[in-house]
Structure 1
Amino acid sequence: MPSDSFARLLLTSDTHVPTRARSLPAPLLRALDEADVVFHAGDWVDTATLDLFEARARWLVAVHGNNDGQELRERLPEVARAELAGLRFAVVHETGPARGREQRCRSRFPDTDVLVFGHSHIPWDSRAPGGPRLLNPGSPTDRRRQPFATYLTARADDGHLTELRLHRLPPRS
């Protein structure tokens, strides 16, 4: 469990195991073990990956995605929320098209400081004027048209998000 004033965070989404990768990348698993709080924005695809995250994460804040079947939908909500280190977080899989995203998310999540989302597999970092910071960690297993597979780490520190880092993963062999 994180302290009241800070927490080390792992943000990931769209793991798609075993459809897009046979297993999770080792750097992601190390980050999972080091984090105080893990955010996963859906598209797990299999329950074994969720089981692995639940077993290894100190605190998991997670949702289901559009590629997740009934069993995952029964275990995970569409939207998850957490308050830690003075920040209000929300997690959702889809936020719609990039155009207008900030305004939609400001309206949908007015009481949120940081919104973690997925679906596109494209890393994203923006702020909705008068609304939440929007973060998409990309995908650690399926880069689609991106140059790298990715995930994010950060630190929630006394009401601030600090040390935000996009991790680029080496190509799978």
Structure 2
Amino acid sequence: MRLLLTSDTHVPTRARSLPAPLLDALDDADVVFHAGDWVDTATLDLFRARSERLVAVHGNNDGAALRAQLPEIARVSLQGVRFAVVHETGPARDRERRCEARFPDVDVLVFGHSHIPWDSHAPGGLRLLNPGSPTDRRRQLFATYLTARLDDGHLADVRLHRLPPRR
């Protein structure tokens, strides 16, 4: 099963459109995770139309129209792997401990907000993944997103994709 993880798309405030490589990955994925900060409903509609399955939440920059359609936390089990998606997890310091306490029944937590890619494990085994942002790199060298695979109930081939600079 092919997974796409993204967050903080911020269209149209940070970019007029989504990068072509992200759209290609969207079309190729079996399950798409979006950890919030869509900013407009048109981007949500695009993801819904092009995703085989979308697991998504709202973020702090999402207004009432998006909040009415998306939860604060989404959960899904795929091949026995328990995922949760949330926009914000707080400061980087002690993130693993806080998230493990907040999500004790989860194997993989997908989050956003910081625009900083993150891949770590909490002491109890929770995997934390932040795909960064495909449109607003902030202080990062590249705009990014993640892909992964689920193979027989195991998360595999987690890969950070760096996007070329916008013109």
Say whether the fold is shared (TM-score over 0.5): yes
Q: How far did 1:156 drift? A: 1.2
- For 1:133, give the aligned amino acid: R
Q: How far did 1:153 drift? A: 0.2
Query: What are structure 1's unaligned runs of at least 5 residues?
Result: 1-6
- CA distance in 2 between counterparts of 1:64 and 1:157 reads 28
Aligned to 1:107, which of 101, 105, 109? 101
Aligned to 2:15, which of 21, 25, 44? 21
Aligned to 1:128, which of 113, 122, 131? 122
Partner residue, 1:43: 37
Q: How far did 1:130 drift? A: 0.6
Q: How far did 1:118 drift? A: 0.1
Q: How far did 1:86 drift? A: 2.1
Partner residue, 2:27: 33
TM-score, scaled to structure 1: 0.96
Aligned to 1:11, which of 5, 11, 15? 5
- CA distance in 2 between counterparts of 1:120 and 1:136 reads 8
Matched, 1:91 2:85: yes
Matched, 1:73 2:67: yes
Partner residue, 1:4: none
Is the 1:112–1:131 contact (alpha carbons within 8 Å) kept by the matching residues of 2? no
Moved over 4 A (4+): none
TM-score, scaled to structure 2: 0.99
Q: The residue matched to 1:172 in structure 2 has which SS? A: coil
Q: The residue matched to 1:155 in structure 2 has which SS? A: strand
Aligned to 2:159, which of 141, 156, 165? 165
- CA distance in 1 between counterparts of 2:163 and 2:30 reads 21
Aligned to 2:144, which of 130, 150, 158? 150
Cα deviations across residues 81-111 of structure 1 (Å, max 9, x unaligned)? Answer: 1111220000000000000100100000001
- CA distance in 2 between counterparts of 1:37 and 1:85 reads 12
Cα deviations across residues 53-98 of structure 1 (Å, max 9, x unaligned)? Answer: 0000000000000000000000000000111122000000000000
- CA distance in 2 between counterparts of 1:19 and 1:9 reads 26
Identity of aligned residues (%): 83
The alignment's C-alpha RMSD in Å is: 0.5
Query: What are structure 2's unaligned runs of at least 5 residues?
Result: none
Q: The residue matched to 2:68 in structure 1 has which SS? A: helix
Q: How far did 1:37 drift? A: 0.1
